[in-house]
A and B are shown apart, each in its own frame.
Chain A
Amino acid sequence: MIRNYFKIALRNLWKNKGFTAINLLGLVIGMTAVILIGTWIQNELSFERFHTNEKSLYKVYNRSTGPGEISTWDITSGPLGKALENDFPEVENSARIYWSAERLFGVGDKSIKTKGNEVDGSFLRMFSFPLLQGNSDDALEGVNNIVITKTLAIKLFGDTDPINKEIKIDNETNYKVTGILKDLPSNTAFDFEYLISLKGNETKYSGSDAWGINTFYTYIQLKPNTLIVHFNEKIKNLVERKSDKYKWEIFLYPVSQSHLYSRFENGKVAGGHIETVRLMAIIGGLILLIACINFMNLSTAQSQKRAKEVGVRKVIGAGKSSLISQFLCESILLAAIGGILALVIAAVYLPYFNQLIEKSLMINFLNPLLWLGLGGFVLFTGLLAGSYPAFYLSSFTPVKVLKGAFKGVKSSFNPRKTLVVLQFSVGIALVIATIVIYQQINFTQNRATGYNVNNLVQVRIEGDIKKNYDLIKTELLSARAVTAMSKTGWGVTVDGSNGSGFKWDGMEQENLNFSLYRTGGNFAKTMDLKLVDGRDIDFSLFPGDSSSVMINETAVKKMGLKDPIGKLIRKDDSALTIVGVFNDFIIGSPYDDVRPMLVFGSVDGVYNIVMRLNGLNDTAKNLKIAADVFSKYNPAYPFTYHFVDQEYAEKFKDEKQIASLSSLFAGLTIFISCLGLFGLAAYMAQNRSKEIGIRKVLGASVGGIVKMLSKEFIMLVVIAIVIAVPISWYFMSEWLQDFTYRIDLEWISFVYAGVGTLLIALLTVSFQAIKAAIVNPVESLKTE
């Protein structure tokens, strides 16, 4: 029976090639989108789930109650992990990991910069990052031991066995390779190519005040069946008990949750990546729904062709249920063909999609779960898409359809029309969203940065650069490759530190929070900042500048200073003199207001060089000179630099990604919807050919007929616009709330979306309408 159904289905699909093609195309696009989104979501949901100890691994967080808000952070002090392990029998294991750093690796004359962490030896025993060579139990238990990934091993050592070989790191210390890590899977937030043993370096990062300096991430493995709620209650005040000084609380948070639920607000989990996952799931579902609606529409549009078959089958013994199964078989067959095609297209398109979402997803064709999932998905799609047509078609009564009097449904409430409206509502809403997102990005990108981002290059201070900085500077300036340069704490596009507790005369607002920054001098000059008042920090002219500070205009305003130059800013025991006021510039998020900012003069704690290339020269020439000079004074390291304008552009990455995704999906939705419209219009033109013929004989013009045929469809799109506009207005206003610096929603963008969609729909429909209208009436009337 089933075989019989499939056979007929195939013949039917083949017979109506045009409809089948349109139907299949829509379905394939929808299914491809779902497969891609599904792969992504699957990856997101599987983060850190591959660890054997997944259920018992926790990360330690701090929680501190300040004025008006509870802040939560995950960087902890050095002794914390061991203290937990020693004091609480529930703790099986603990490991610290020092934050990720890029280091220079040298083997022979080969040197490569690569990223990794310093960890306790227990790390490899707790987490499932298996060693291909070496023993996880003790690979990182020795001083100056290192394990590296397979990929890095091949880069450094080629074909030779790397075990027990030495790697010189940062041109200083030799480390012994004790293990080869399997390359990290894509579903982990850990990001390292090497792990170095912390042994021997334990105190390096914590200094004397071990409990007060937070420098490590701490991971805990609990014994099975430990109730985390109770345990968290027990350890809450550990830091205060141990240090007798610091009052912040600690708590454990499951590693398996840390990727999807990572945002804490007021000490509580407030979401995180899961929101994107949900949004994508909704979009995927909508696209699939729209593709299925297409299927329903096109299938029911064909009902006249199928009506006779239904009648005959019923007369010769078919029950309603067997007809329903037959039509469902047909839709499932089409869904299966679509599913296979979609899988192939998804696999081909995956690299581009990866680029878009910045991931490295893969489809594992050997995984039986994939095929099981695809089977279920095909079944689901087939049933969803086929349900309505199946019930509709199977309900025909044989007497009516066999008499030839059958003429589709004519009621004014036509489910097919409702479906078209639904499709276009979703499409238009997505288009509006895309327009608004792009407007917001554009608006923010055009926001004045406050400094000149062009020709600005940054270099990390590493190796001998620190020692030879002055020589480098002199040489670059005299070669006229750069016009100014400055050492800073970190990159000029990173709002890396903030602090409060500063005091000054005439202070009105307690606990004003400042962006904090450090410079070794010439900062305003290098950045092209406007000095509103006073001077730049400059140690060569003012050797005492380590007690000087520059502030921005917002700080002047917020601090309520009248005549800022010479005023003192105090914190704890130290006092800083304001020597300059510069104009506001964007260091943090371009979507936020500029915060009050303090730029300290400092010779220590500066790890970054920012330099202004000479705009009169060719950039390539400037960089060539810079490369020569840096290599001369820092020969062990390759010269690496970053353009500030590119780094600034990075700030828009997330929003741009959302914009590309939403435009992609909006485009797909509109396209699929138009496919459906195209099919429906074709059906209508065919159905009304007699009417068109008679009208033409009676004197109707081609234009008049095109108008008559298109009007109905255009009305549907207009209704869709009316539905989509308020919905998208609401959601986009919500979205914009997240940005302090934002556009106002403008009605014109809604007009663009509406008119644009309307034009596309009109083009789609009128193609069929014109085709029908220019037919010679003799032809269409003869056939009746």
Chain B
Amino acid sequence: MLLELHNIFKWVTQGGKRIFLLSDINLQVEEGEFISIMGPSGSGKSTLLNVIGMLDGFQEGEYNFLGESVHAMKEKNRSKLYKEYIGFVFQAYHLIDELTVYENIETPLLYKNIKSSERKALVADMLDRFNIVGKKDLFPSQLSGGQQQLVGVARALIAKPKLILADEPTGNLNSKQSEEIMQLFKELNQEGVTIIQATHSETNAAYGSRVLHLLDGRRDHK
């Protein structure tokens, strides 16, 4: 078991009323799964991903990750945990504009204090694998959306995470680029990386081994 959510509730108070962003979410994810979360805008897909990614908290419920109780953890340990095991891919890529492709991919390794020679090797592997060696000295603004997302995925993978959280990874891409990225996810999944993606697209959702529907912050079991 990679992670487990039990009766997760998350809300904000507005005008004295609770507005539920997530309510009573239960979810178990085994290692090696590829899960798609679907639902309309505002249904809580991103919020759920953020909770799973430990970027965001919740008010009620239990969250266990690799047997550790995330809900009982201190902020510091929690961020240590997600830095170790989770990689993020965003709809808007969120590359650092001032860094080259190479440096963007390298940055997570810097924060893990990995030695320079080792870093070089790891980044070179990654560039190789994604076929972007020729673009390593370009800046994000010089790349197409698909290429930027490729870099985004490479950056998420470089630290060898167990879990990749992708929030509408193809939302800004055309269909051909989308397909490439989804294909890549499928390959990664086959290599053993657990993936949870949020998506609008039935086609993309179909890449997953399991689909989870959300509506107004609840699981929609119909």
CB distance from A334 to the nearest CB of B (A): 15
- A212-231 near B? 1/0 per residue, CB < 8 Å: 00000000000000000000
B5 at interface by CB-CB < 8 Å: no
Does A1 contact B95, Cβ atoms closer than 8 Å? no
* A319 near B79: Cβ-Cβ < 8 Å: yes
Binds B, one of A309-317, A386-394, A547-555, A768-776: A309-317
In the assembly, what is the distance between CA of A8 and CA of B104, in Å?
Answer: 11
- Chain A residue at smallest Cβ distance from B84: A317
Instruction: Establish whether residues B110 and A1, one from each chain, have CB atoms under 8 Å apart when the complex forms.
Output: yes
Name the distance in Å between B121's Cβ and chain A's nearest Cβ. 17
Q: Which of A1, A11, A312 contacts B94 (CB 8 A)?
A: A312
Which A297-321 residues sit within 8 Å CB-CB of chain B? Answer: 308-309, 311-319
Contact A4 B111 (CB under 8 A): no
Number of A residues near B (Cβ < 8 Å) is 24
Q: Are B98 and A317 in contact (CB under 8 A)?
A: no
Q: Are B98 and A12 in contact (CB under 8 A)?
A: yes
Decide: B99 and A317 in contact? CB cutoff 8 A: no
| Interface residue ranges of B55-91 to A (CB < 8 Å) | 55-56, 79, 83, 87-88, 90
| Cα separation A315 to B155 with both chains bound (whole Å) | 11
- Given the known interface contacts A398-B55, A399-B55, A399-B56, the answer about A313 and B107 at a Cβ–Cβ threshold of 8 Å is yes
Given contacts A4-B103, A402-B94, whether A322 and B111 have CB atoms under 8 Å apart is yes
Given the known interface contacts A316-B108, A316-B155, A322-B111, the answer about A308 and B99 at a Cβ–Cβ threshold of 8 Å is no
Residue on B nearest A403 in the bound complex, by CB: B46
B70 CB, min distance to chain A CBs, angstroms: 15
Contact A317–B96 (Cβ < 8 Å)? no
Determine whether A15 belongs to the interface, using a CB cutoff of 8 Å to chain B: yes
* Chain B residues in 8 Å Cβ range of A314: 79
Q: Are A317 and B94 in contact (CB under 8 A)?
A: no
Residues from 34 to 82 in A contacting B, C-beta threshold 8 Å: none
Partner of B112, one of A8, A15, A309, A317: A317
Contacts of B103 in A (CB 8 A): 4, 7
Closest Cβ neighbor of B76 among chain A residues: A319
Q: Are A399 and B50 in contact (CB under 8 A)?
A: yes
- Identify which of B83, B94, B108 gathers the most chain A CB atoms within 10 Å of its CB: B94
Q: B111 to A316, Cβ gap below 8 A?
A: yes
Given contacts A15-B98, A311-B94, A312-B96, contact A317 B56 (CB under 8 A): no
Looking at the assembled complex, report how far the CB atom of A481 sits from the nearest CB atom of chain B, in whole angstroms: 78
Is B35 in contact with chain A by the CB < 8 A criterion? no
A315 x B88 contact (CB < 8 A) = yes
Using Cβ atoms and an 8 Å threshold, which residues of chain A touch B159?
A: 316-317
Given the interface pairs A4-B110, A15-B98, the reply to whether A316 lies near B88 with Cβ below 8 Å is yes
For B96, list chain A residues within 8 Å (CB): 8, 309, 312-313
Q: Is the CB of B83 within 8 A of A317?
A: yes
Report the number of A-B residue pairs with Cβ-Cβ less than 8 Å. 56
Bound-complex Cα distance A523 to B156 (A): 97
A295 to chain B, nearest CB (A): 19
Whether the pair B107, A316 counts as a contact (CB closer than 8 A) is yes
Give the docked Cα–Cα distance between A52 and B169 (Å).
Answer: 75
Task: Give complex CA distance A316, B111 in Å.
Answer: 8
User: Which residue of A has the minimal Cβ distance to B99?
Assistant: A8
Residue of B nearest to A4 (CB): B110
Contact yes or no, A8 B98, CB < 8 A: yes
Query: Could you tell me the distance between the alpha carbons of A312 and B55 in the complex, rounded to whole angstroms?
Result: 11
Provide the residues of chain B in CB contact with A309, threshold 8 Å. Answer: 96-98
Q: Which residues on the A side are within 8 Å of B155 (C-beta)?
A: 316
Q: Chain B: which residue is nearest A404 at the CB level? A: B92
In the complex, per-residue mask of A10-40: 1 if CB is within 8 Å of any chain B CB, else 0:
0110010000000000000000000000000
Most buried by A among B53, B96, B98, B155: B98
Residues of A within 8 A of B112 (CB): 317
A15 and B110 CA atoms in complex are apart in Å by: 23
Contact among B55, B94, B99, B111 for A318, CB-based, below 8 A: B111
Which residue of chain B is the closest to A316 with respect to CB atoms? B108
Contacts of A12 in B (CB 8 A): 98
Give the distance in Å from the alpha carbon of A69 to the alpha carbon of B156 in the complex.
83
- Residues of B contacting A7 in the complex (Cβ-Cβ under 8 angstroms): 103
Q: Are B111 and A308 in contact (CB under 8 A)?
A: no
CA distance A46 to B100 in the complex (A): 51
Give the complex CA separation of A315 and B53 in angstroms: 9
A738 to B5, CA, bound (A): 78
- Closest-by-CB residue of A relative to B165 is A315
B222: min CB distance to chain A, Å: 29
Kindly list chain B residues whose C-beta atoms are within 8 Å of the C-beta of A322: 111
Name the residue in B55, B88, B112 with the highest tally of chain A Cβ atoms < 10 Å from its Cβ. Answer: B55
Bound state CA distance, A556 and B106, in angstroms? 93
Instruction: List chain B residues, Cβ under 8 A from A317.
Output: 83, 107-108, 111-112, 159
The answer for the CA separation of A450 and B99 in the assembled complex, in Å, is 76
Which A residues are in CB contact (< 8 Å) with B95?
312
Q: In whole Å, how far is B52's beta carbon from the nearest beta carbon of chain A?
A: 12
Which residue on chain A has the smallest CB distance to residue B91?
A402
Residues in chain B near residue A1, CB distance under 8 A: 110, 113
6 other A-B residue contacts (CB within 8 Å) besides A309-B96, A315-B53, A316-B88: A4-B110, A8-B96, A313-B111, A316-B156, A397-B55, A399-B56
A-B contact pairs, 16 of them (CB 8 A): A4-B107, A4-B110, A11-B98, A11-B99, A308-B94, A312-B94, A312-B95, A313-B111, A315-B53, A315-B88, A316-B155, A316-B156, A317-B108, A317-B111, A319-B79, A399-B50
The 4 closest A-B pairs by CB, nearest first: A317-B111, A11-B98, A317-B83, A316-B108
